Chain A
């Protein structure tokens, strides 16, 4: 593929099939997307040993040389080695820096940078923006990691698309379709505290829920899950039913039960032990937090028998898991 200046090679269908996603990305990604933004600069009067120390501490291999706010050169590890070989560790940067600096533009695509790397055999370029301001540095390593990150994003988007249950709810015909998730929660199992809620949140995102909805469910379930871990005798069950237009959640346990439900709902009220409080639980905010996140909350409890907490979130049409009828 050419840059536009050289005659463009004709791409046959066979070629087109062989164009990898990585090649495509090198056109799609801008230099600004992959460059290192956190740049370390040096001054022309710094000593070679000082720069060496800066490079070592920050694990970098080159830095622009700035004087009076302007870039006047670039100094690389190779320049430093050259100076050290001559025993000139205390020489100034200005004597060893490269003054003919090749720059690239932040708004150019990555493929332009790749061509410049190939043409010049230079290891790193300062990146400048439309106003010629220095905004970053670019090495081949930055391009590799930037491309990998973009590939991973692609992959995740693909994953999400593939698992969108909106398709599921649209494809499966019944009078009422729902998906039920169940989790067994052990009493006192703080090491797995929050795991079920994080699984539920992830499931909702995969099903195509918007981030805000997944967050509300995540917070509500987290508090309910911690209640099972902290306050029950034998743990309990989390049950989540996802339907296109609503999410119903429940936690069920077999004791000890809540003596005064109204008191338990009061912000600040908690029966948590000192040990549990030390971990940051037992603020007496749990039920209040849950209530804030859901549309309906109901607690039924009997001392000696157990507690059932029922929660419901109603989905407005634009958040429905069904795609038919919208878009």
Chain B
């Protein structure tokens, strides 16, 4: 299951510069809006589902080398956040769904 498959199946919007998403394979999933919990619980290569859309999610995703961040409920990161994500090579994706539904759909794809 590549990131491209995830983007297609959940119909996600790509907020950062597109890369070859079919070359990225998320290895696990994680959801929380508390950054310290994410720091403690998310693994390398994880897909992170969160409602947070501010600049600091980029630092967390970069440090943990996540495969992408899915921002839910159409929360809109500002331009500085998107620029920073591009700089750090962090992929930001967006959905209008709530975290609950996004995670349910990810689980259904077989991601654990």
Give the interface of A toward B (CB within 8 A).
36-38, 145, 190-191, 193-195, 197-198, 201, 211, 215, 218-219, 222-223, 226, 279-281, 283-286, 288-289, 292
Q: How far is the CB of A30 from chain B (nearest CB, A)?
A: 14
Q: How far is the CB of B93 from chain A (nearest CB, A)?
A: 16
Could you say which residues of chain B place their CB within 8 Å of the CB of A201? 63
Q: What's the Cα separation between A284 and B35 when bound, in Å?
A: 10
Could you list 19 A-B pairs, sorted by A, with CB under 8 Å?
A37-B2, A38-B5, A194-B56, A197-B59, A198-B63, A198-B88, A201-B63, A215-B44, A215-B63, A222-B63, A223-B36, A226-B35, A279-B52, A279-B54, A280-B33, A280-B50, A280-B52, A281-B56, A285-B36
Pairwise interchain contact A283-B35, C-beta atoms closer than 8 A: yes
Could you say which residues of chain A place their CB within 8 Å of the CB of B39? 219, 222-223, 285, 289
**Could you list 9 further interchain pairs (A-B, Cβ under 8 angstroms) beyond the known A36-B22, A194-B62?**
A37-B23, A193-B59, A194-B56, A198-B59, A211-B44, A215-B63, A219-B63, A222-B59, A285-B37
Cβ-based interface call for B4 (8 A): yes
Q: How far is the CB of A275 from chain B (nearest CB, A)?
A: 12
Cβ-based interface call for B40 (8 A): yes
Pairwise interchain contact B36-A194, C-beta atoms closer than 8 A: no
Cβ-based interface call for B60 (8 A): yes
* Contact string against A for B residues 51-79, beta-carbon threshold 8 Å, 1 for contact and 0 otherwise: 01011111110111100000000000000
Q: What's the Cα separation between A240 and B37 when bound, in Å?
A: 24
Q: What's the Cα separation between A152 and B3 when bound, in Å?
A: 22
Pairwise interchain contact B35-A281, C-beta atoms closer than 8 A: yes
A190 with B56, Cβ < 8 A, contacts A37-B2, A201-B63, A218-B63 known: yes
Q: DSSP class of B's interface residues: helix, strand, loop or mixed?
A: helix
| Residue of B2, B36, B50, B63 ringed by the most chain A CB atoms within 10 A | B36
Could you say which residues of chain A place their CB within 8 Å of the CB of B55? 190-191, 193
Q: How far is the CB of B69 from chain A (nearest CB, A)?
A: 12
Q: Could you count the A-B residue pairs with CB atoms below 8 Å apart for me: how many are there?
A: 81
Q: DSSP class of A's interface residues: helix, strand, loop or mixed?
A: helix
Q: What's the Cα separation between A201 and B65 when bound, in Å?
A: 11
Q: What's the Cα separation between A190 and B64 when bound, in Å?
A: 18
Q: Interface extent on B, as a size class?
A: 20 to 34
Cβ-based interface call for B34 (8 A): yes
Could you say which residues of chain B place their CB within 8 Å of the CB of A219? 39, 63-64
Q: What's the Cα separation between A288 and B5 when bound, in Å?
A: 36
A280 with B34, Cβ < 8 A, contacts A38-B2, A219-B39, A285-B40 known: yes
Q: How far is the CB of B71 from chain A (nearest CB, A)?
A: 12
| Other-chain residue from A190, A197, A289 in contact with B40 (beta carbon distance below 8 A) | A289
Could you say which residues of chain B place their CB within 8 Å of the CB of A145? 20
Cβ-based interface call for B80 (8 A): yes
Q: What's the Cα separation between A145 and B18 when bound, in Å?
A: 14
Could you say which residues of chain B place their CB within 8 Å of the CB of A36? 20, 22
In the complex, what residue of chain B is closest to A196 when comparing beta carbons? Answer: B59
Could you say which residues of chain A place their CB within 8 Å of the CB of B33? 280
Could you say which residues of chain B place their CB within 8 Å of the CB of A288? 40
Q: How far is the CB of B8 from chain A (nearest CB, A)?
A: 8
Q: What's the Cα separation between A279 and B38 when bound, in Å?
A: 13
